[in-house]
Structure 1
């Protein structure tokens, strides 16, 4: 999304540099809005001025990086600089330094006379170029020509904390053009990310040309609109970001089809483009499950010829027929010709194995090979494919399900199932390399909110339970973008930016203490994103609730998170538009109503729409209770519930008393429900606000009122609500359900706008 921020001119910026010699780190961080922030930065006096007469000198191995730097500078100067091996005065020098041993590390020294980029490997030089890019004026990104460019005098010593700094893009559910992949790569490079995981195949579409099996793309790359497309179309009525990109819609044989695929030559061009920016593209061909698009084209791949969805997932390919392995090996041979990466991702997640149990071929194979169960049969398939990969000097990556039936130590595990927290620990202790991609907080297809950036920045890739040696198996992390509900390039931008910047800094610096300076530096990054035409998510409007109450009148005031924004509102149920009135400071509310607010940039781009429901209440009086006991009475249900109300007619498996709102550590069931009942004994009159965070769903009732409704199966999200309470005890009920996910339950309160806190144990009674 576009926004415009008032920024100091370059002359003022340079005057600040000239007046300062060595400054404290905190001040330096605010002066230099670099993301990720370098491991060590020392500022100096003055600047290095780049003109058309400046040259680039280099060691032989850094020609590609010299050209990347030249392309960058030419956008601002209007012409390219000379590149030479000869040493020249007033030059930018790319120097080989064997003493820099860490992979991707570099040293950047800027003096008034010269710039020296020193590194051992080309990736280090390239990262230094991207640091220079962020030090240059934003105008460079737009190709605005100046006679000269200035770099502040400083020295930087820098290296990444983690080897794997990745992003994942699902191009199967919704398809993305080659041009967008290259934009995506450019943005990753700007923030020093180095791994792009492309999810190329799934039930909804096969996206890469395989010459031996042409029907994979002739048929498997196209579909009639499905339920996900329909859901996007419905949401597009109010939000144009959900409009399906029309370039991927065709007419064939009287049908409207959605899809597309990459030819091998097209994808080779993307691989080369990424390699020039030191980004490794890892292809994923997901099997044995998620293969419906392939099975539609080649039905022999299943055990019984059927191709449909089971109770949860689609039918997989059959691991008991040699035809399946012949197909898989032929596909991966061509994949390896396209992608030189040493890593190949085989998927291995969400497999409905029920048909395997009915197959005579599988029964015979299991008896022959001594395979004890269906998870072990899946491991037979995975391990056999890994041998095929290893024979061709490739390393196999699989989602963490592949450890269930046993896996070799050489397989790389990509952990995503937050409801199986022991999976990465088990894998690391087994000797496997592990990449962390947990759904919470690294599934960037989850709707971002005011806590998303904080959670990403403070994510620790090292799970609890590992000693130092075992922790070395964790090589990094990546964010995943699944595109069932991401049908356009604009929507994709919105979902991963600016979250990716938080992930980039966390994986590069591994220093959570820099969070506040990161937020300040992020503000300075938005104009660069504007220049790059990134349709990013505007910062949240701060401090808003889902439900408000008032006794006499309410007042709504909203601080602007960025300069230049205009906050507009409606009270008639319509979505705020550029023609809607600007929110006054404050808006006085004297009757129950729904207020909808949204921020707008000067260009008219709208941020998120917030629906604020105001209800007028009298203070709720307390109830009398006899001899209260401490804590709440809890009922525990070992079952899956789609919504909390379904627990009310179920039989509890056990009951217990708790003096806090939290999932007990003894709960092990993957799906369950808990009800908390009793009284909330508040110490004073006031407007109480409750903040309920659930993964999956929860409903809070105080008295006869639903105070917070956070029901349903969803990832961790916070909902809030208010109620006017008089001092004393009030009936309290909280229903919580977990469908198989993060086991997240947290309830906080504030009174009359105070800082949110956890509810004291002595307030909870039964």
Structure 2
């Protein structure tokens, strides 16, 4: 028995060692190649393939003519001249090969040896994805002005295909406008990371951005506006960050007024569509209706039920869903849109419709009575369904935000899920047979301010919601991230908000594996390429910094640089750090209360986030004595409060909670919460608290304000410290929710430990 156990144990040990060896080898290969998204399968080879002016690009099949040209254009950037192309060539060649055995439409094989590079695919889209893999294997400085005599590709064998069919990015050009040149740059970056859908939000209340020849006033007048409240926010922020300066390229003087805006002619947009198509990216146009139509209604008031155009409680007046003139306008607009955009998919929006005017309209009430409709939501469904029939008659497929599910929709429309607080929406749609694109606000709204957790949250996002069978889950076709531009007025700011978290989404949707640490290594290897492409990406976070710092004797500022080539610079007079500010090359000792502003700088001079570090000298707060019970008291105040400081009136309810998160009892669309009680601190020390809120909150402990994360905003973490003694310390946490986010989380660390959730055992009242 003992002998058998020995043999069995030895076999298991050998098996474990073998698995460990191959897993370690695979991880090393993963970290070696700077590929994002990482391929389905990769085996490292020996040596490299050297490309010179004598190398030939060989493409026997005419189906890959475009891809061969794309590859040659890429190599020309390194060598200065294009390579010779043909249907046959010498042994030392780059071969684009047709392979009928590759089933996935975007699948490909890539085999690089010292003598030959073979790119194999069945479809042109797959061949192009192979070209982009070659691009990432080439040196990062692909836009260098110094040409090379030779360039090398590492020997490797790759078999690859995407996990999801829909891998999308969205850009709102209505709130703030972006040039044709930037759209092409954006498309080129999508191609680099193997995205295949570009959803462009062309119209909204703030501006109409696409020429419609039948309604010329839409762009002659609707594309321009005087500065609005969103512009004023950007102007205020520009004092600390030039990325918020309103782009002067989009400002004109007309009739004595300063106007902001711009639009794309149909000819310009057709060129952008062709540019994307050459890179196998579909452009999905969105003309948002029946809501978000103020820019059109201003010029064509017949579109509403009462001829009025105004802001309601939350949103603007929608177009009228029963007037035939509305459908004539909508069909004329979409007919021209379909002539510009050949995509199978056309986005109608359908979100955030204020139906108040429909409820007041006599013609709407009469129509509802005649058609046995009980709610105005049914009117919206009538509009969407009628427009879908029009789309289908033109051979197109309708997409709408998940509000189009309300009161019935056909199973043929595609649903784009964004409302994180309506978690049943994608499940309902998938069970109804609708194809679903997952685009939840958290974590896929890239206009939300990035923080140290953003990349991880995107990388670990699971597109498949709970509650679906395997068959139903097949209706989840993929995901996309959305970038709304209310407070993104420049191309640099757009880059900052999108990169690098877009790379995490690329890996999730193509590779769909959990290899986060090697992804982070490969991401660092991608930064030089983004530098070469002129991408104004967000620099990695400087770890361990706290907004509000306290100390009893002294503190030491000595952060670790997130990348070795960065320089940390700081000021102590309140001014913004620049390239001439004092470098932080050694630990900085702080012995009195002071304000430090710190930022990282690249060798090229790009500045990262500014860290505003307040240091306050404190004594340890004394504990209090009280008879307590487990949990905190939570007072619930329904209603909109734009600041935690504005919460007032009598609480609707008071209940006891054993954790700090939004309780299930809080069901209003907007509300406030007051948490009161004590934290039972286990030991003397300096405690750091990390408060994440969507929308806002203020944390006080021992009568001292620790974290101010107030105001309506997306999920943002802010941090602060307090010096406290062991025992009961009075706690007050005020939180407000403006609608849609429902995020509240409190973590802590002590004396520099890793952040963790506040234990329930600490909560007393």
| TM-score, L = length of structure 2 | 0.95
**C-alpha displacement of 1:675:** 2.3
Is 1:485 the equivalent of 2:487? Answer: yes
Q: State the match for 1:101 in structure 2.
A: 103
**C-alpha displacement of 1:535:** 1.1
8 Å contact from structure 2 (residues 637, 652) kept in 1: yes
C-alpha distance in 2, partners of 1:272/1:483?
A: 25
Is 1:680 the equivalent of 2:682? Answer: no
SS in 2 for 1:267: helix
Q: Deviations over 1:500-543 (max 9, x none)?
A: 1111111111112x111111111111111111111111111111
C-alpha distance in 1, partners of 2:426/2:63?
A: 38
**C-alpha displacement of 1:113:** 1.4
Is 1:760 the equivalent of 2:759? Answer: yes
Q: State the match for 2:632 in structure 1.
A: 632
Q: State the match for 2:270 in structure 1.
A: 268
8 Å contact from structure 2 (residues 640, 670) kept in 1: yes
1:421 to 410, 420, 423: 423
Superposition pairs for residues 192-271 of structure 1, below 5 Å? 192-271=194-273
SS in 1 for 2:142: helix
SS in 1 for 2:28: helix
**C-alpha displacement of 1:27:** 0.7
Superposition pairs for residues 456-605 of structure 1, below 5 Å? 456-512=458-514, 514-605=515-606
Q: State the match for 1:403 in structure 2.
A: 405
Query: Mean alpha-carbon deviation: is it higher for 55-64 or for 178-187?
Result: 55-64
SS in 2 for 1:30: helix
C-alpha distance in 2, partners of 1:214/1:283?
A: 19
Q: State the match for 1:78 in structure 2.
A: 80
C-alpha distance in 1, partners of 2:240/2:384?
A: 44
Q: Deviations over 1:474-515 (max 9, x none)?
A: 111111111111111111111111111111111111112x11
C-alpha distance in 2, partners of 1:381/1:472?
A: 28
8 Å contact from structure 1 (residues 23, 43) kept in 2: no
8 Å contact from structure 2 (residues 141, 528) kept in 1: no
Q: Deviations over 1:364-391 (max 9, x none)?
A: 2212222221111011111100000011
C-alpha distance in 2, partners of 1:545/1:652?
A: 33
Q: State the match for 2:452 in structure 1.
A: 450
Query: Mean alpha-carbon deviation: is it higher for 229-238 or for 537-546?
Result: 229-238
8 Å contact from structure 1 (residues 573, 594) kept in 2: yes
Q: State the match for 2:646 in structure 1.
A: 646
Cα RMSD for the two superposed structures? 1.6
Superposition pairs for residues 727-738 of structure 1, below 5 Å? 727-738=726-737
SS in 1 for 2:508: helix
C-alpha distance in 2, partners of 1:250/1:368?
A: 50
8 Å contact from structure 1 (residues 47, 152) kept in 2: yes
8 Å contact from structure 1 (residues 22, 42) kept in 2: no
SS in 1 for 2:58: strand
C-alpha distance in 2, partners of 1:744/1:232?
A: 25
Is 1:719 the equivalent of 2:721? Answer: no
Q: State the match for 2:128 in structure 1.
A: 126
SS in 2 for 1:441: helix
8 Å contact from structure 2 (residues 198, 282) kept in 1: yes
**C-alpha displacement of 1:23:** 7.8
Q: State the match for 2:30 in structure 1.
A: 29
SS in 2 for 1:708: strand
C-alpha distance in 2, partners of 1:232/1:716?
A: 19
C-alpha distance in 1, partners of 2:642/2:228?
A: 23
Q: Deviations over 1:63-95 (max 9, x none)?
A: 000110011111112211122122541111111
2:387 to 378, 385, 397: 385
Q: State the match for 1:662 in structure 2.
A: 661
Deviating beyond 6 angstroms after TM superposition, the runs of 4 or more aligned structure 1 residues are: none
| TM-score, L = length of structure 1 | 0.95
Query: Mean alpha-carbon deviation: is it higher for 656-665 or for 580-589?
Result: 656-665
Q: 1:183 to 1:689 in 2, by over 3 A?
A: same
Q: Deviations over 1:558-605 (max 9, x none)?
A: 111112211111111111122221124211111111111111222322
C-alpha distance in 2, partners of 1:238/1:487?
A: 15
**C-alpha displacement of 1:664:** 2.9
Q: Deviations over 1:622-654 (max 9, x none)?
A: 11113x22222222333332222333x332233
Is 1:702 the equivalent of 2:697? Answer: no
Q: Deviations over 1:668-722 (max 9, x none)?
A: 3332333222221112111111111122222221111111122222211111111
Q: State the match for 1:300 in structure 2.
A: 302
Q: Deviations over 1:239-288 (max 9, x none)?
A: 11111222211122222211111111111110000000000000000011
C-alpha distance in 1, partners of 2:262/2:327?
A: 26
**C-alpha displacement of 1:547:** 0.7
**C-alpha displacement of 1:735:** 2.0
SS in 2 for 1:46: strand
Q: Deviations over 1:287-344 (max 9, x none)?
A: 1111111111111111111111111111111111100000000000010000000000
C-alpha distance in 1, partners of 2:125/2:417?
A: 27
C-alpha distance in 1, partners of 2:23/2:351?
A: 53
Query: Mean alpha-carbon deviation: is it higher for 242-251 or for 111-120?
Result: 242-251
C-alpha distance in 1, partners of 2:693/2:345?
A: 36
Q: 1:668 to 1:426 in 2, by over 3 A?
A: farther
Superposition pairs for residues 131-210 of structure 1, below 5 Å? 131-210=133-212
Q: 1:340 to 1:620 in 2, by over 3 A?
A: same
Q: 1:324 to 1:380 in 2, by over 3 A?
A: same
Q: Deviations over 1:389-432 (max 9, x none)?
A: 01111000001111112111111111111121221111112211
SS in 1 for 2:539: coil
Q: State the match for 2:65 in structure 1.
A: 63
C-alpha distance in 1, partners of 2:368/2:196?
A: 41
Q: Deviations over 1:120-143 (max 9, x none)?
A: 100110001000001011233325
8 Å contact from structure 1 (residues 57, 88) kept in 2: no
Long gaps (5+) in structure 2: 1-21
8 Å contact from structure 1 (residues 242, 487) kept in 2: yes
8 Å contact from structure 2 (residues 56, 89) kept in 1: no
